[in-house]
């Protein structure tokens, strides 16, 4: 059934070392190489192109984090891993939407990836909470927090940007913002 | 130390901004003070999560940018398996189609069932419900027997009897067998012989479960009967055996003839024979005889829903009932005739003998 998907497939080790070295090109090549495979899976199992994009990106993130953590063993195939994660995620999505008819039309071999998917989903829940906490935080807190803790900007820069007359005022403001963010984050269930 | 200052210290510590001495001192403080240690860990985790969140957002942005460059539509075209419309229809609507199909199957089966196509393959429960209905129709029949009799006798000279049936002699001293449903709940019973003479009778013994009643003629004018010409068959008769009855569906006796169509009655009840004899209301309680003049049963019921289906109680139940008559209600043990004097007679001759021993049972 499965069609041969033509693309210049990079080798697994190229990708793994590329990602470990923060190579922008490695991610891109990975993404381009396996997207058609996932599209094929989703499209032919009651999904849309947008579903394929969502699922595939999640899978790439799972793989990316696994490689970054140094967990990915080179003897398992990248392709199989991505396909398995997508398959697992899509099955879940289908049953959530009550569209799962009991059989999935498969195109590749797959292996059990329940642990990875579960970890990823737990992490996602945390990120969702963080996202909504940041959303509720409001300005200028949100920007101050993001600039300092995420974008690694110094207090000096932040001070100048927001026009604080001295660094202590800025620190004070940042402290209050962080306390509020924590409160908002932990309030959520 | 104020909270705010503590946070700053923790951040400097976590960022590695401390000098060696300060660092050692703070690590010492962490060891000694569990609360500060907890704050350090908590802050580290929370800012770590913030950082990872930022990285995730960044990664998603990058992936989206990459995705944007891909010709999604072309890939979609390439990988989509083109299916015929019927397969697509099935894929998208198979649950609905399944439901529709099952409804259709049920409808067809239901129709077949109710129109009687599936009679032979009925499930057990369905069958038993049918039985229930048949039982009802039989009950209704015996009621209707009463009604008919009442209306028939409306223009008759009094005394007016409520219910009529047939009975036949068991012994020459006046024991009469009849159907229990005739005399059920009525104490005043008369029997009338072929010559039109009535005798008062009393109910000696009943077995309602088998629809048997034994009467005894107690009338002072009764002088006894001659020797009973028929005998009672102990064993079951065979299916298809020729049988006949004589009874009083009308004021005068009626002969009816047919065959044993089954050696079990309604609902496979082995107590009864199923017989095909034209029988009317009033035949109840009459004798059922075979060609040789053996009484093989008592006519008891008619199936209203099917033409020509009647039931007769097997004679060995009658024999048992006779044995079961309490001895204190008898002056002497009933002696049944063992010599059949009708065996070699023609049907006409048999009837001539028989009719003297068959009575109309009238219930007031």
Test B53 with A60 for CB contact under 8 angstroms.
no
pLDDT of A6 above 50: no
Q: Chain B interface, mutation test: which of A42, A47, A60, most B Cβ atoms within 10 Å?
A: A60
**In whole angstroms, what is the distance from residue A59 CA to residue A121 CA?**
11
Asked if A59 has any chain B CB less than 8 Å from its own CB, the reply is no
**In whole angstroms, what is the distance from residue B181 CA to residue B285 CA?**
9
pLDDT of B227 above 60: yes
pLDDT in tens, B126-176: 333 344 444 555 554 554 554 444 444 443 333 456 778 889 999 888 899
Mean pLDDT of chain A, nearest integer: 81
Asked if B202 has any chain A CB less than 8 Å from its own CB, the reply is no
DSSP output for B43-108: HHHHHHHHHHHHHHHHHHHHHHHHHHHS-HHHHHHHHPPP--HHHHHHHHHHHHHHHHHHHHHHHH
Residue B103 — pLDDT band, cuts 50, 70, 90? very high
What is the reported pTM? Answer: 0.46
Q: Chain B interface, mutation test: which of A1, A51, A57, A82, most B Cβ atoms within 10 Å?
A: A57
pLDDT at A99: 65
Q: Check: CB of residue A2 under 8 Å from CB of residue A107.
A: yes
- Counting Cα atoms < 13 Å in the Cβ hemisphere of B303 gives 22
In angstroms, the separation between the Cα of residue B47 and the nearest Cα of chain A is 7
Residue A5 — pLDDT band, cuts 50, 70, 90? very low
Instruction: Find chain B residues with C-beta within 8 A of A43's C-beta.
Output: 76, 79-80
Test B66 with A49 for CB contact under 8 angstroms.
no
Q: What percent of chain B has pLDDT over 70?
A: 84
Mean pLDDT of chain B, nearest integer: 79
Task: Read off the tokens for B23.
Answer: 């660092």
Test B63 with A35 for CB contact under 8 angstroms.
no
pLDDT at B137: 52
What mean pLDDT do residues A26-44 have? Answer: 86
User: Cα angle vertex A157, ends A153, A160, to 5°?
Assistant: 150
Length of chain A, please? Answer: 189
In terms of CA atoms, which chain A residue is nearest residue B3?
A175
pLDDT of A160 above 60: yes
pLDDT at B161: 66
**In whole angstroms, what is the distance from residue A83 CA to residue A39 CA?**
10
Tell me the backbone φ, ψ of residue B177, rounded to 5 degrees.
Answer: -95, 140
In angstroms, the separation between the Cα of residue A74 and the nearest Cα of chain B is 22
Asked if A167 has any chain B CB less than 8 Å from its own CB, the reply is no
pLDDT at B1: 54
Test B79 with A127 for CB contact under 8 angstroms.
no
């Amino acid at each position: 059934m499965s069609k041969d998907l033509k693309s210049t497939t990079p080798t697994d080790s190229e990708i793994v070392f590329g990602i470990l070295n923060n190579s922008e090109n490695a991610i891109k090549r990975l993404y381009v190489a396996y997207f058609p495979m996932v599209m094929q899976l989703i499209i032919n199992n009651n999904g849309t192109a947008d579903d394929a994009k969502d699922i595939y990106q999640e899978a790439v993130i799972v793989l990316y984090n696994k490689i970054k953590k140094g967990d990915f063993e080179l003897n398992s195939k990248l392709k199989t891993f991505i396909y398995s994660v997508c398959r697992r995620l899509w099955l879940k999505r289908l049953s959530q939407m009550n569209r799962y008819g009991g059989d999935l039309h498969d195109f590749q071999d797959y292996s059990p990836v329940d642990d990875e998917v579960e970890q990823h989903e737990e992490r996602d829940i945390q990120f969702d909470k963080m996202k909504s906490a940041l959303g509720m935080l409001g300005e200028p807190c949100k920007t101050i927090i993001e600039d300092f803790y995420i974008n690694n900007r110094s207090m000096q820069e932040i001070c100048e940007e927001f026009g604080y007359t001295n660094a202590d005022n800025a620190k004070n403001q940042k402290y209050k913002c962080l306390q509020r963010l924590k409160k908002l984050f932990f309030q959520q269930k | 130390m104020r909270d705010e200052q503590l946070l700053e210290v923790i951040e400097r510590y976590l960022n590695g901004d401390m000098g060696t001495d300060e660092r050692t001192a703070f690590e010492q403080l962490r060891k000694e003070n569990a609360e500060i240690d907890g704050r350090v860990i908590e802050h580290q985790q929370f800012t770590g999560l913030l950082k990872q969140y930022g990285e995730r957002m960044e990664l998603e942005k990058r992936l989206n940018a990459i995705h944007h460059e891909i010709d999604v539509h072309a890939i979609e075209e390439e990988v989509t398996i083109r299916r015929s419309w019927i397969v697509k229809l099935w894929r998208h609507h198979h649950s609905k189609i399944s439901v529709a199909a099952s409804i259709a199957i049920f409808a067809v089966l239901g129709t077949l069932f109710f129109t009687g196509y599936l009679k032979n393959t009925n499930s057990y429960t369905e069958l038993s419900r049918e039985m229930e209905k048949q039982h009802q129709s039989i009950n209704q029949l015996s009621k209707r027997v009463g009604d008919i009799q009442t209306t028939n006798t409306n223009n008759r000279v009094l005394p007016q009897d409520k219910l009529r049936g047939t009975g036949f002699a068991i012994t020459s001293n006046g024991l009469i067998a009849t159907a229990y449903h005739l005399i059920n709940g009525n104490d005043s019973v008369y029997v009338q012989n072929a010559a039109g003479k009535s005798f008062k009778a009393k109910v000696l013994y009943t077995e309602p479960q088998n629809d048997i009643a034994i009467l005894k003629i107690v009338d002072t004018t009764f002088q006894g009967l001659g020797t009973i010409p028929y005998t009672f068959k102990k064993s079951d008769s065979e299916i298809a055996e020729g049988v006949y009855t004589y009874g009083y569906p009308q004021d005068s006796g009626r002969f009816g003839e047919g065959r044993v169509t089954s050696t079990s009655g309604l609902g496979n009840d082995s107590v009864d024979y199923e017989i095909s004899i034209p029988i009317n209301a009033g035949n109840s309680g009459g004798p059922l005889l075979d060609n040789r003049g053996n009484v093989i049963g008592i006519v008891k019921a008619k199936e209203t829903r099917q033409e020509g289906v009647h039931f007769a109680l097997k004679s060995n139940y009658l024999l048992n009932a006779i044995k079961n008559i309490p001895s204190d209600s008898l002056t002497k043990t009933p002696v049944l005739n063992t010599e059949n004097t009708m065996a070699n007679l023609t049907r006409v001759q048999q009837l001539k003998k028989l009719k003297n021993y068959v009575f109309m049972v009238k219930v007031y």
